[in-house]
Structure 1
Amino acid sequence: MQSIQVEPAAPITTPLLDVSNLPASFESVEALDDFLARPSQALVDDLARLDGDIMILGVAGKMGPTLARLAKNAAPHKRVIGVARFSESGVRERLEGWGIETIAADLLDRRSLEALPRIPNIVFAAGHKFGAKDNQALTWAMNTHVPALVAEVFRDSRIVSFSTGNIYALTPVGRQGASEATPPAPVGEYAQSCIGRERMFEYFSSRHGTPGRIFRLNYAIDMRYGVLYDIASKVHRGETIDLAMGYVNVIWQGDANAQALRSLLHCTVPPKPINCTGPETISVRWLVQQFAARFGIPVKVCGEESANALLSDTTLSSTLFGYPQVPLGVMLDWVSDWVRREQPAFNKPTKFEVRDGAF
């Protein structure tokens, strides 16, 4: 099961990602989702080398639907299965319309997990962040108990598990951000529970020989959420931006999804972490200025940049996967256009400005 071999690939009917001809904007949610699901040739090639089908646990979250659709578009010869409770109306139907099989299951229920098919490749995308400080018990249950159950049940699969750069301490601005070799120093119960998630996958990997990868992400950018959306929407409303968290990393969600899927070919025992974000250390003050200029309104900021910020070093992921394909300047234009036209949003702030770990 652990061998890597080339499978006969079905023809790719979805347009491949063409970075030389990126769209100027997205007219609708449908156009955005279509673009997010365009695979690169590199992703197509990697999934052709990956033996077996793919199952995504927690598929109904922010990134899950486009992650599943991207996988199916890149590997139409594979089964792609999405598992979630599907409490939000329309998500399951949309996934099935894209050719993705769905299974409704509560990941907190071991019997539900035991009933799932044993698929060779698992992407664990479940977790709890938003409102974590108000429901700490659920945060720990979703971020540590569920991973332990999944690691036991799917001991014979490869598992790429989403984690977060929040497990690192704030690092000094002007230096390279935290690398995978940087010791975790989580602040607050959310980040601590995410280290718990990592430790569960590490423990059961060592116990059962399960190959895996820990995918530390911050921050993915979609038109409907993310650091750029948070800042742009506040600027557009004329709100003042606090500069205390003065620098950030961001990455296009399509690039992050592609790297997560490609990580299935780079699993280890025990699972090693890999950082996923953009290569730039971006000034929040500069972002405010950029959006204000695009909207034609005054810059409104307060406070001063702190000497440290949540920043990650992506040398490893860049070595394995190359630089992200969608550049920062294009993301700024896309988000500005989306916010100006008051298009739909997920209304889930990243809370990137939080410095005390209380999410």
Structure 2
Amino acid sequence: MNYVESLKESMYIPSEELVDDMKEIDGDIMILGVSGKMGLNLAKLVKRASNKSESMKKIYGVARFSESDGIREELESEGIETIKCDFMSENQLEGLPKVKNVIYMVGYKFGTVGNEDYAWAINSYLPGRIASKYKDSNIVAFSTGCVYPLVKMSEGAPSEEFPPEAVGEYAQSCLGRERIFQYFSKQNKTPTTIFRLNYAIDLRYGIVSEIAQSVLNEWPIDLTMGHANVIWQKDACEMAIRSLRVASTPANIINVTGPETVSIRWMAERFAEKFNKTPKFIGSESDIALLSNASKAHAIFGYPKTTIREMIDITSEWLLNGGDTIDKPTHFQERQGKY
């Protein structure tokens, strides 16, 4: 195994805390929307934690699956049972097996502008179908910190006590997703966790990778959205899985991100040191940003294991050793909620 492969493999090694929690989670686990950016990472962690805990759970991965991306084959090689499903098909949705635990990762973000009706159907209508079908399950429903408004840096990031104020149709439809899961959690007594995530960082994708690539390639970096919260994707995936244990009715809402408010300028300067480059900046930092206070998640699960400086180190090594990237910008700079 070369260095790049070893970095990638590290994303799939479950922590002892996850293994211990897996022993306490009763029943099989189904991941809906497993072919998304985080799905493969999460699914492998679930399966390996299950194996290591000797709990012998059956793990399902459900998605539409492209014939060319190879994700389905990789999941099956791990021992995960895959099911191809168009979630908007009545017959296919009804054909899914019942399980005790559901991790719901289905969502639609990029391309919302001009396709708003589809975004609402996926983000707000479909959750009601899922919540009805799996009313006797424990559900972790992925959401986003985008349901919060931009806030003044001087006022600090919003915690779960802060009322949502979704800007733009993507964020509004995601708040719709939350409200639907909350409604059915109350109606059917379905234990549910609303998992408000921003922003998960992968070796190949995310804010940290974007800033690193910009510095390395001497591309200009817009500083208007001058601060952000980030969390290593493996840490976020582990918290999502472990959230099955804290699902409740009414639904338990948890902000999930790292503990720091990270300066984009500072991050770029650290990468500049790694790459022996001079970062190019345009604009200046606004006094408002999209931020989340994840102190509740840290109280439940502990602080994320991967620090921001470690993310910078790992991402630098990944790029310098020829690691690939996913050409899908995060658009974290967006201030009007248009994706």
Which TM-score band (shorter chain)? over 0.9
- CA positional deviation for 1:284: 0.6
- CA positional deviation for 1:113: 1.5
Unmatched runs of 5 consecutive residues or more in structure 2: none
Is residue 128 of structure 1 aligned with residue 108 of structure 2?
yes
Q: Give the structure 2 partner of residue 45 of structure 1.
A: 20
State which drifts further: 231-240 or 185-194.
231-240
**Secondary structure of 1:82's partner?**
strand
- CA positional deviation for 1:261: 0.4
Q: Give the structure 1 partner of residue 35 of structure 2.
A: 60
When the two structures are aligned, how many residues end up with a matched partner?
A: 334
Answer whether contact 1:133 1:358 (CA < 8 A) is retained.
yes
Answer whether contact 2:139 2:244 (CA < 8 A) is retained.
yes
- CA–CA separation in structure 1 for the residues paired with 2:283 and 2:306: 31
- CA–CA separation in structure 1 for the residues paired with 2:317 and 2:244: 35
Task: Give the TM-score normalised by the residue count of structure 1.
Answer: 0.90
- CA–CA separation in structure 2 for the residues paired with 1:47 and 1:33: 23
- 1:118 alignment partner AA: K
- CA–CA separation in structure 1 for the residues paired with 2:65 and 2:83: 9
Pick aligned residue for 2:239 from 259, 264, 269: 259
Pick aligned residue for 1:84 from 39, 47, 63: 63
**Secondary structure of 1:112's partner?**
helix
Answer whether contact 1:105 1:112 (CA < 8 A) is retained.
yes
- CA positional deviation for 1:88: 4.8
- CA–CA separation in structure 2 for the residues paired with 1:238 and 1:57: 39
- CA positional deviation for 1:29: 6.0
Pick aligned residue for 1:230 from 193, 210, 225: 210
Q: Give the structure 1 partner of residue 222 of structure 2.
A: 242
**Secondary structure of 2:335's partner?**
coil
Structure 1 segments (4+ residues) deviating >6 Å: none
- CA positional deviation for 1:209: 1.1
**Secondary structure of 2:82's partner?**
strand
Q: What are the superposed Cα offsets for residues 117-167 of structure 1, whole Å, 9 maximum, x if unpaired?
A: 100000001101122224222211111111111011111101100000000
**Secondary structure of 1:338's partner?**
helix
- CA–CA separation in structure 2 for the residues paired with 1:195 and 1:81: 27
Task: Give the TM-score normalised by the residue count of structure 2.
Answer: 0.95
- CA positional deviation for 1:28: 6.0
Q: What are the superposed Cα offsets for residues 13-65 of structure 1, whole Å, 9 maximum, x if unpaired?
A: xxxxxxxxxxxxx9566434421111111111111011101000000001001
- CA–CA separation in structure 1 for the residues paired with 2:196 and 2:251: 12
Answer whether contact 2:142 2:197 (CA < 8 A) is retained.
yes
Q: Give the structure 2 partner of residue 12 of structure 1.
A: none
- CA–CA separation in structure 2 for the residues paired with 1:185 and 1:29: 41
- CA–CA separation in structure 1 for the residues paired with 2:244 and 2:168: 30
Q: What are the superposed Cα offsets for residues 88-132 of structure 1, whole Å, 9 maximum, x if unpaired?
A: 521100000011110111111122111111000000011011222
Q: Give the structure 2 partner of residue 21 of structure 1.
A: none
- CA positional deviation for 1:342: 4.1
| Aligned residues: CA RMSD | 1.4
- CA–CA separation in structure 2 for the residues paired with 1:290 and 1:303: 19
Q: Give the structure 1 partner of residue 191 of structure 2.
A: 211
Q: Give the structure 2 partner of residue 305 of structure 1.
A: 285
